[in-house]
A and B are shown apart, each in its own frame.
Chain A
Amino acid sequence: MKSIKLTKLSVAACLLFLMVMLAGCGGKEYKAVAINEDTAKCAACNMQVKDDAYATQLVTKNGKVHLFDDIGCMHKWEATNPSEEIGASFVRDYNDNEWIKYEDAYYAYDASYRSPMAYGIYSFKDKASADAFVKSQDKGVVMTSAELASHTWQQNTDMMGGMDMSGHDESAHSEMDGDMSMNDASSDAHSN
């Protein structure tokens, strides 16, 4: 009687152990890595990846980390490397540079927002701060990661002397790399 109980217990223990192991395998935890500006290079466009809010990264299933200087470069890389299995991708909160999962972030976009490769997309950790940013800019839309999937990914590569977009390029210059407390004559729309 006692021995049967013991066997049962050990079987249960084995099963539990197996379950824990399997669960551990399935839920592989991906983490964002820190950026070393001396060596970090965008996997798509070759530019230096600065340790700023525009930086993004993805980790493939076999553990390789690719860094990008602009979320648009990450999108481009995914499109040109369809065979790579992506474990997780990370973006940063625009305000405090905290790494967040791509799926959990909210995105603000406007053609006039400036970013290293001119994709004009900023990421935020919650909807409120994304909304607040768009409101402060007086232009732009807020998207979820699902909505971002159907985004055009158009780069704003040509202001054409402001002829074609006189509406919003006035404050286009208010966005310079990184943090901003600008004195640009036209930065009235801008606050941060």
Chain B
Amino acid sequence: MIKRKGGFAACLFLFVVFLGIAPCAACASPSKSAIQQLIDEAMPGDTVTIPSGEYSGAITIDKRLALVGEPGAVIVNDTAKPALTIIADGVTVSGITIEQRSMEESSAIELAASKATLSKLDIYTHSFGIRLRKSNRNEIADNSIQWLGESGQQVKMSAKRNGIDLYDSHDNVISGNRISSMNDGIYQESSHRNQVTGNRIDHSRYGIHCMYTEGTIIRGNAGSYNVTGAMVMGVTDAIVEDNSFTKQSENVNSQGLLLFDVHTSTIEGNRVEGNRVGFYIEQSSKNDIRNNRIVRNFVGIQFLESEGNELQANDFIANVINAEATDSPDNRLTANFWDNFSGIDANGDGRSDIAYAINPFFQQLTHQTPAFQLFFQSPGMQFLETMMQSDRSSWTMDTEPLMMPAGQQTMAAKHNSYTFWMSLCLLLIGTIIIYNTGVKRT
């Protein structure tokens, strides 16, 4: 009996001790409170400045603040939570370095509010970089996001997460960010009217990845050494212009720009260079593809089951195969430049009188049996290609290909008119001088 009582007392004692220790353990993490405390003490609208130094993470911003880091301000987060969680609208964060060290599914910055400005942040992460959830009208500018890599350690691509990840988030501006070695650089799903401009993405899986978006603008971005520069899927009314996607060739499935299930979008003024496939277009319709430069790719442009697209004034130069097309009727190809094609221009309008037709033979063959790619450009294959001309009328063809690259032509035209007006002016001035002075002297 006594023994039992003693046991009970011991239990009670231990319980009390634990109760006493537990809250301390929770608050024990060294300078956790440093930034959080500043935030908690600040009034909405204040600017909280973080002095240089290392702080530990899992910080939540729950009121409208500006969090500004002085040079050398670093937040290191070992917890499974995001280093920075923003749940209030109108927050500004800038000038901080963030290290998200935990391998748990999380993010360096979790944005669950709107109208935030995130700028000049240096993010190193073992999970997502910046994640937006139902978060609208934010500005994410001039940040750098990188996979937090131990030197020499090869990480499986599927272990990585996306740099900037949008889901159900609209009207955001993402500009001037530099993203490296992530899964997808900028991933947008079911998010509309976002502007992605002037970002640089390299060594990631897909540079820019759109899934089921509307009215997306992708302008002036540069992608290199990714599996695919921009993967645009299930999209309507997008604008993809003035981007450059280069050297996407390391992976067997590499492309510069891939359009899958994309409709009524504009693809203009892009440069795709040195990729395995420049433009890959599948099950896409009514897109306007113009003034692009498709240079030095293995395959310039590849159409599969796509129709009603308009291709105009694109330059295909020094690709191993300029174009392939299967099951793609009713695409309107006019006035593109194909460097492997020798046209005839009898009437001197700069456009060939004979059409450039795309032979689908090789693509059909390798689609069935990819191993036949071994016969790429082999003499036998080329011979077979010339034999298979039976339903030539259904091939995709450029009805009036350019005789000179479109890029050169506009330059030449500009140059020509400039010279013309200049010489006319000089002639006019010369005539006036000679006429006037001539009359006075005599």
Contact = CB atoms under 8 A, between A and B. Distances in A.
B55 interface: no
A84 to B, nearest CB: 11
B282 interface: yes
Contact of B168 (A48, A51, A172): A172
B104 A158 contact: no
B251 interface: yes
B112 interface: yes
B182 to A, nearest CB: 13
Contacts of A154: none
A186 B133 contact: yes
Contact of A46 (B106, B167, B251, B260): B260
A134 interface: no
B212 A118 contact: yes
Nearest to B214: A158
B110 A184 contact: yes
B104 A181 contact: yes
Contacts of B112: 184-186
Contacts of A47: 231, 233
Contact of B87 (A158, A162, A185): A185
B251 A183 contact: no
A62 to B, nearest CB: 11
Contacts of B392: none
Nearest to B86: A185
Given A162-B168, A172-B168, A185-B112, A46 B282 contact: yes
Given A39-B253, A157-B190, A51 B167 contact: no
B85 to A, nearest CB: 7
B219 interface: no
A179 B105 contact: yes
A182 B105 contact: yes
A119 B231 CA distance: 19
A39 to B, nearest CB: 5
A166 to B, nearest CB: 11
Given A37-B156, A45-B233, A176-B105, A161 B170 contact: yes
Contacts of B128: 176
Interface in B368-401: none
Interface size class of B (residues with CB under 8 A): 35 or more
Interface string B231-252: 1011000000000000000011
Contacts of A46: 253, 258, 260, 280, 282
A157 B168 CA distance: 10
Interface string A29-64: 000000001110100011110111000000000000
B133 A118 contact: no
B282 A51 contact: no
Nearest to A45: B260
A185 B133 CA distance: 9
Given A38-B251, A185-B112, A50 B158 contact: yes
Interface of A: prevailing SS = loop
A180 interface: yes
A157 to B, nearest CB: 4
Contacts of B157: 37-38, 48, 50
A178 interface: yes
Nearest to A118: B212
A157 B167 CA distance: 11
Contacts of A118: 189-190, 211-212
Contacts of A186: 112, 133
Contacts of B80: 181, 183
Interface in A99-139: 117-118
Contacts of B87: 185
Contacts of B201: none
Interface string A147-186: 0000000011111011000000100110011111111111
Contacts of B282: 46
Contact of A169 (B168, B233, B251, B253): B168
Contact of B205 (A41, A48, A159, A172): A48
Residue among A37, A50, A169, A176 with most chain B CB within 10 A: A176
Closest 7 A/B residue pairs (Cβ): A157-B212, A50-B158, A159-B168, A173-B133, A183-B81, A159-B190, A41-B253
10 contacts: A41-B253, A48-B253, A172-B167, A172-B168, A173-B134, A179-B105, A180-B105, A182-B105, A184-B112, A185-B85
Interface of B: 80-82, 85, 87, 104-106, 110, 112, 128, 133-134, 136, 156-158, 161, 167-168, 170, 189-190, 205, 211-212, 227, 231, 233-234, 251-253, 258, 260, 280, 282
Interface of A: 37-39, 41, 45-48, 50-52, 117-118, 155-159, 161-162, 169, 172-173, 176-186
Given A39-B252, A183-B82, A186-B133, 9 more contacts: A39-B253, A45-B233, A48-B227, A159-B168, A161-B134, A161-B170, A172-B168, A178-B158, A186-B112
